[in-house]
Structure 1
């Protein structure tokens, strides 16, 4: 679900029922051992995508997302 399409995080938009919608200003949080990217689409609808630790770290290193809460130092 959280694919790296053209460098950014994409997810499924439940409201518009479309796949691979790019997230605007995503933040990746760690909750219960899961890496969850939250953000909004271009229309302002909230979106979320669950991803692996490796994918989350690669998006942060590339500058596509910011670290949120739950990350250990």
Structure 2
């Protein structure tokens, strides 16, 4: 589950098996009614996190993420 920490989106990295890894340049898309943040970690590994509507809109409003497709 993605959590807001210091204004950025953090998620679990499957490749490195670490929690709360900050996402670099996240883009939030809406697919099938779900808000999905996709981005990379500092090492360039792809990451994704599912957000609720309020959290997704909060990250976009604060400038921590960009709007993707489906809005």
Decide: shared fold, TM above 0.5: yes
Partners of 1:64 and 1:2 lie apart in 2 by: 13
Partners of 2:12 and 2:29 lie apart in 1 by: 18
Deviation at 1:2, TM superposition (A): 1.0
Partners of 1:62 and 1:4 lie apart in 2 by: 11
1:1-37 Cα offsets, whole Å, 9 max, x none, are: 1111111000000000000000000000000000000
Q: How many residues align?
A: 71
1:61-72 aligned within 5 A? 61-71=61-71
1:50-70 Cα offsets, whole Å, 9 max, x none, are: 010000000000000000000
Partners of 1:53 and 1:7 lie apart in 2 by: 16
1:15 maps onto 2:19 in alignment? no
